[in-house]
Chains A and B, each alone.
Chain A
Amino acid sequence: MADGVFSRGFRGRRRAPADAALPPGQYVTDDFPVFSAGPTPHTPLDEWSFAITGEASNPRVWSWEAFLELPPETITTDIHCVTRWSKLSTQWTGVSVDRLLSEVTHQAAYVTAFCDGGYTTNLPIDDLTGGKAWIAYEFDGAPLEPEHGAPARLLVPHLYLWKSAKWVRGLRLMSEDKPGFWEELGYHEHGDPWKEQRHWGD
């Protein structure tokens, strides 16, 4: 805090000690707010596909039906939005990124997730592997809602939620990092909520 600045009469709404499980600067919501830069895309399932592209020797593409045949995992996790809300113990079902990447041969260090509507976000591959990321198609036991990314979104719950790209259509494998949509507009290149990596330079 700047030296000695305090707001007269402010007490706040302090919550139970369970908030100790929250990253700094976050508050808990039971709602599920929507943070999207443009209109919600509505791609028909028979036109949908998921691709691993870029610097892979054998790129792969799955149709929606083929994607659903991949072994699903169900994950219960907290999620954290850079706009400061967190939602605890959310349940998701999807395919692990480890499983998808096991089908291609690559030496990529970085990934750009690309989406319907043109959104992109960039991640080091180490943030997507080792049981840390999924392509999720169910939330709390039901298909994703359109405004939350239907039919499928990336889920990388240990990073701020803008990395969990909605309406995801594929992962582009790259040897060099390239900033995505929000990363070019002032948001942090990595986005670790526990380090409060919200904006450039944080």
Chain B
Amino acid sequence: MGRLTWRPGTVLESVTETPRVKTLTIAAPEWPGHRPGQHVDVRLTAEDGYQAVRSYSLAAPASNGTVMVTVERLDDGEVSPYLVDEARPGDQVELRGPVGGYFVWEPALGGPLLLVGGGSGIVPLAAMLRVHAAAASDVPTRLLFSARSPDEAIFTAELDRLAADDLQLQVIATYTREAPADWTGYRRRVDREMLEEVAWRGADRPLAFVCGPTGFVETVAADLEQMGYAGDRIRTERFGPTGGTP
């Protein structure tokens, strides 16, 4: 792998996922490609040369010289408010990457695969599912995602579509604060009992990826270990303030 360099990107499209989350499609003709779960560093430069950089999960495989990042606005953030509230087609950014090589799933890694996402922790997991579907992978896969409410859930329409088309994929949602009146699924935080019902058994030697706020990931990873998942087959990515819950 050669040195990572900054490459120009131009915003092509900005799609609202939730009131706080947008997906930006960025034209990046020099982007070298990436694996599902990897990150990109995004650099913004003000007119006077001031710069700020943050890292974001790539939401999908690269295609046709574009990359997709899904960004949640952090109110005290520096880059995310710009990307969510300000950026529009034609705006310029710079990209460096891909970054990170462990929180990555590719069909060759096998399974059975368990993906557990809290809040915007779904983003790198969605990239894995998109590759799973595109490759017609026969790896049995379950995704459990937790969101406060359907309005705050990201990618639900796409996940439903993937689950309908991909016979090896099951998608299970839980809504922790608010669910539609006719919702028959889970209405609480992910807990051990839910994982026992939804997740592969430890004896199946599953491979698990858990992404979300720190407290969410700590709890889920510990529960999975107690269910017999091998520690080295639970890959985690934590973000945000310690103790946050979706």
Interface residues of A (CB under 8 A from B): 1-2, 5-14, 25, 27, 31-42, 83-84, 117-118, 146-147, 181-182, 185-186, 199-202
By the criterion CB–CB under 8 Å, are B99 and A186 in contact? yes
By the criterion CB–CB under 8 Å, are B82 and A10 in contact? yes
By the criterion CB–CB under 8 Å, are A38 and B99 in contact? no
Q: With the chains together, A118 CA to B93 CA distance in Å?
A: 38
B91 within 8 A of A: yes
B48-99 with Cβ < 8 A to chain A: 49-55, 78, 82, 86-87, 91-94, 99
Could you name 28 residue pairs across A and B whose Cβ atoms are closer than 8 Å? A1-B51, A1-B94, A2-B7, A5-B92, A5-B93, A5-B94, A6-B45, A7-B45, A7-B46, A7-B82, A7-B87, A7-B93, A9-B86, A10-B46, A13-B52, A13-B78, A37-B103, A38-B231, A39-B225, A39-B231, A39-B234, A39-B236, A40-B218, A84-B55, A185-B100, A186-B100, A200-B4, A202-B3
B163 within 8 A of A: no
Residues of B contacting A: mostly: mixed
Q: Which residues of B contact A39 (CB under 8 A)?
A: 221-222, 224-225, 231, 234, 236
Chain A min CB distance to B245 (Å): 14
Determine the residue in chain A with the shortest Cβ distance to B214: A34
By the criterion CB–CB under 8 Å, are A84 and B54 in contact? yes
Q: With the chains together, A116 CA to B100 CA distance in Å?
A: 21
By the criterion CB–CB under 8 Å, are B99 and A199 in contact? yes
Add 14 more A-B contacts to A38-B231, A186-B101 (CB < 8 A). Answer: A5-B8, A6-B47, A7-B44, A10-B52, A10-B82, A13-B78, A34-B242, A36-B236, A37-B235, A117-B231, A147-B218, A147-B238, A185-B100, A186-B1
